[in-house]
């Protein structure tokens, strides 16, 4: 559903992005180099609020009942710019194409930026568990002046493709750490249902297990953060690690008040250093991006 608020990204803005990409592609690197950087990773409220927009690159476009919600780039950029402009929103997580669009729109000044690294496990495919690193590299993230990289780590005990993903994530964590960049790891214990669809196990035991596996990857964990889902027993989850934890916002909920309440409860732990929220903020019930963002920031 489109918000009734006035759009801030217009068709003329989109046309300018296209012209810039065609006529002066080097401008993207120039803007990245000149971009004012954040002074810290603590967040404006003492905890980070990061908006996620890396779903499209994995072919995952659904938000709520709309299967193509994230398929309209102009609409997605409009929602992102509006979210990033709100007080208390610290940054964004996205693939290179989305981040470069935001650079061209001037929306990343002073923001914490994470480049999404592995988008090869396309949604709905037989090779979904083979999360190849087809996105940003540690070298490219450093060159762009971003603050870190994010990777998805789904571990299916019945799928041998999980093994190379584990190895690739360990390599990426090490590559980022060598450059002093944050590695944001999003781990799950996963499996397939009778129709072959991938699902993530959100039981406390599975989330604790995934967190301990992710924390132990690479030769150092000095720059590793964990992005973990909100489950009823978050006390057990955060007790499993000493790494900074960012909460995963998850799918759009029809009961936004209940979702906010579950987030607020999880935020009570001092180990939880912020939230990474995508569709729940960008495509909230009713379509009011600003209200959804402000309610989340207020919890911090």
pLDDT in tens, the chain (300 residues): 444 467 899 999 999 999 999 999 999 999 999 999 999 999 999 999 999 999 999 999 999 889 999 999 999 999 999 999 999 999 999 999 999 999 999 999 999 999 999 999 999 999 999 999 999 999 999 999 999 999 999 999 999 989 999 999 999 999 999 999 999 999 999 999 999 999 999 999 999 999 999 999 999 999 999 999 999 999 999 999 999 999 998 776 667 777 788 888 888 888 999 999 999 899 998 889 999 999 999 888
| Cβ neighbours for 218, distance < 8 A, ≥ 6 positions apart | 170, 171, 173, 174, 177, 183, 224
Strands (E), 63-181: 91-94, 112-116, 148-155
Report the C-alpha gap between 119 and 52 in whole angstroms: 14
What residue ranges do the domains of the chain occupy?
Answer: 11-299
CA distance 277 to 296: 9
Residue 236 structure tokens: 């057990």
SS3 200: strand
Nearest to 3 by CA among 298, 300, 285: 285
- Whether the full predicted model's pTM is greater than 0.85, yes or no, is yes
Domain spanning 11-299: CATH superfamily = Aldolase class I (3.20.20.70)
Q: What is the pLDDT of residues 224-233, one digit of tens each?
A: 999 999 999 9
Q: CA triplet 153, 57, 169: central angle to 5 degrees?
A: 25
pLDDT tens string 4-19: 467 899 999 999 999 9
> Which element (helix H / strand E) includes 291?
helix 289-299
């Amino acid at each position: 559903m489109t918000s009734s608020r006035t759009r801030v990204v217009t068709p003329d803005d989109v046309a300018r992005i296209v012209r810039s990409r065609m006529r002066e592609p080097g401008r993207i690197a120039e803007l990245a180099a000149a971009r004012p950087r954040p002074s810290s990773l603590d967040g404006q409220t003492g905890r980070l609020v990061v908006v996620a927009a890396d779903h499209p690159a994995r072919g995952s476009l659904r938000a709520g009942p709309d299967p193509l919600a994230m398929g309209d780039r102009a609409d997605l950029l409009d929602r992102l710019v509006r979210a990033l402009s709100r007080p208390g929103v610290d940054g964004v997580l996205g693939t290179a194409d989305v981040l470069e669009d935001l650079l061209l729109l001037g929306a990343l000044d002073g923001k914490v930026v994470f480049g999404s690294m592995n988008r090869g496990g396309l949604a709905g495919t037989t090779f979904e568990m083979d999360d190849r690193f087809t996105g940003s590299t540690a070298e490219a993230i450093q060159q762009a002046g971003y603050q870190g990289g994010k990777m998805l780590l789904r571990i299916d005990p019945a799928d041998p493709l999980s093994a190379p993903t584990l190895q690739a994530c360990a390599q990426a964590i090490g590559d980022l750490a060598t450059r002093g960049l944050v590695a944001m790891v999003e781990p799950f214990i996963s499996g397939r249902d009778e129709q072959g669809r991938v699902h993530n196990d959100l039981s406390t035991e599975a989330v604790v297990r995934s967190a301990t596996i992710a924390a132990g990857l690479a030769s150092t964990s000095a720059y590793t953060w964990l992005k973990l889902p909100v489950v009823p027993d978050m006390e057990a989850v955060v007790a499993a690690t000493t790494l900074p934890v960012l909460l995963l916002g998850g799918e759009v909920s029809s009961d936004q008040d209940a979702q906010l309440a579950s987030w607020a409860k999880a935020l009570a732990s001092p180990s939880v250093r912020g939230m990474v929220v995508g569709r729940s903020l960008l495509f909230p019930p009713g379509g009011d991006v600003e209200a959804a963002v402000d309610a989340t920031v207020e919890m911090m």
